[in-house]
Amino acid sequence: MKGTGNNLLIDLHVHSSESDGTLSVTELVDHAVAHKVGILALCDHDTTSGLSLFHRYGAEKGITTIGGVEISAEWQPGTCHILGLGFDKSAHDLEKALQRYRDDRIIRNERILSGLTEAGFPVTVDELQAASEGQAVSRNHIAAIMVHKKYVNSIQEAFDRFLAKGAVAYVERFRYSPLEAVTMIKEAGGVAVLAHPSQLNVSFEDLDRFISGLQDVGLDGVEVFTPYAEDGFIQDVKMLCRKRTLLITGGSDFHGTIKPGHLMGYYRDDTPIPEVCARGIPDR
């Protein structure tokens, strides 16, 4: 895909309420239009459930929509997510693999609620279902209930004390390996991109080796322009991509109100995601 060519913004990593964003799919598209974003990729966590409406409503509103997904991968030093962009809409094997994540999420949520009850801060399944209002249930909904019940003063406190990794009610989740995630995306005809590489929490030398291993099974690019990385790291990863002939992409990781510092179309408050990030990404 070429850039917009008309001063519209680009964002190849946003989330809706189909996973853990606060805006519905249609609200997300309306937000893009209002903020002059012309190319948008919906990359909900481990689900493609919002993509049909996303493409249909995006076409009505005159923006270029890219179907995507963000797959959580097993990685001990930090966090590893793989983006799949522009894959075949009829990729049944990918959807089947993602279903395992969704099935695990139900079990995980039940175990989190059990942990909270044991800690003396009960949240019921009925409360969780009511809070989610038909959206995909996430820890954000649990945290919001805890604020409402005055167990904590903020969603951040709920995560810090109870829901984040290592906290009293944290439950580990199922994840595929990074190699499996890349392979699934490639078999579905998509572009595989390593998301926010700074969150891997490894040295640059280890990052280079890790990317090399993923490239062996089909990695296409790296999310270079991201709010999580310092400018020096961005420049280093950009050079690494050029050395390895990998696509350079960028995204805000926009989630709506739960990540207020992530502005759609920008990787810094005042710096748009560069147009180069749209090159090589199929608009489907």
Task: Say how many C-beta atoms besides its own lie within 10 A of residue 77's C-beta.
Answer: 12
Strands 191-194 and 221-225: parallel
3-class secondary structure, 40: strand
For residues 87 and 55, the answer to whether their CB atoms sit within 8 Å is no
165 confidence band (pLDDT: 50, 70, 90): confident
**Cα–Cα distance measured from residue 97 to residue 24, given in angstroms and rounded to the nearest whole number:** 24
Domains defined along the chain, listed by start: 9-97+175-278 (3.20.20.140), 100-163 (1.10.150)
pTM of the model: 0.89
Residue 91 has pLDDT above 80, yes or no: no
Is the dihedral angle over the CA atoms 191, 235, 200, 15 positive or is it negative? negative
140 confidence band (pLDDT: 50, 70, 90): confident
For residues 37 and 12, the answer to whether their CB atoms sit within 8 Å is no
Of 16-30, 66-80, 133-147, 221-235, minimum mean pLDDT range: 133-147
**Amino acid code (one letter) for 98:** L
**Cα–Cα distance measured from residue 31 to residue 256, given in angstroms and rounded to the nearest whole number:** 10
Classify the phi-psi angles of 267: left when phi > 0, otherwise alpha if psi is within -120 to 50, otherwise beta. Answer: alpha
45 confidence band (pLDDT: 50, 70, 90): very high
For residues 48 and 77, the answer to whether their CB atoms sit within 8 Å is no
Average pLDDT, the chain: 93
What average pLDDT does the segment 50-71 reach? 96
pLDDT value of position 138: 82
Residue 114 has pLDDT above 70, yes or no: yes
Residue 112 has pLDDT above 80, yes or no: yes
77 confidence band (pLDDT: 50, 70, 90): confident
Of 64-73, 126-135, 138-147, 181-190, minimum mean pLDDT range: 126-135
What average pLDDT does the segment 123-132 reach? 90
152 closest CA partner among 140, 164, 143: 143
For residue range 184-221, list pLDDT tens digits in order. 999 999 999 999 999 999 999 999 999 999 999 999 99
> What are the contacts of 147-155 at 24+ separation with CB within 8 A?
149/121, 149/123, 151/121, 155/258
CB under 8 Å to 69, separation ≥6 — which residues? 43, 44, 45, 46, 47, 48, 83, 84, 87, 94, 98, 185
Radius of gyration (C-alpha) of the chain in whole angstroms: 19
**Cα–Cα distance measured from residue 35 to residue 264, given in angstroms and rounded to the nearest whole number:** 8
pLDDT value of position 20: 87
pLDDT value of position 105: 86
**Cα–Cα distance measured from residue 49 to residue 221, given in angstroms and rounded to the nearest whole number:** 24
**Cα–Cα distance measured from residue 260 to residue 109, given in angstroms and rounded to the nearest whole number:** 25
DSSP string, 257-272: GGSTT--TTEEETTEE
